[in-house]
Amino acid sequence: MAAIYLWWIGADAADRDLLEQVRQQVGRTFEAPAVLWDDPSRPTGTYDTRRGQHSSTQILRWLAAHQPPGAMKTLAITDVDLFIPVLTFVYGEAQLGGRAAVVSMARLGDGTARVSPAMVSARLVKEAVHELGHTFGLTHCGSERCVMTRSVNMAGVDRKAAVLCADCRTVYRDRLLEGYDQ
């Protein structure tokens, strides 16, 4: 099985410990090698001056065109705020059944001591696994504890676990048989 690549594309320096936590959970959840990809390339032209945010869809297009060699899936992780046109913001976006996903840390904390670094880390891990789940063809799950449940706010993110529920795990394994790991 090829590897899942995690690529920091943030404006600030990467928090290597945080990325390592994401890498480990991604590897466990998808039972696949997960590696941190160091490359200074960053998408350009994704910033919308009117909204003051970056287009996650444009980042996905860039990422799909810049896959690391041999990558099965690539997850970009950033610290910039993301949007899609119909929503005020998104925590992330993925190509359903595709190879690229992006997740943002921008709204996972509030910049105060009320949200600890451990909580931000736990939230990032969940959203990273969630978006990568979409690249394997998984859709939103009705179980609020499953990582694939839809989260419209932080309470929703905090309620869910960082792992697939039994039903989504079964679907994931079926997707592997269908070649979603190519």
Contacts of 48 (CB under 8 A, 6+ apart): 54, 55, 83
Q: Which residues are catalytic?
A: 131
- Burial class of residue 111 (count of CB atoms within 10 Å of its CB; 0-12, 13-18, 19+): exposed
* End-to-end Cα, the chain, rounded Å: 8
Structure token digits, residue 124: 């990032």
Query: 């600030």: which residue's tokens?
Result: 12
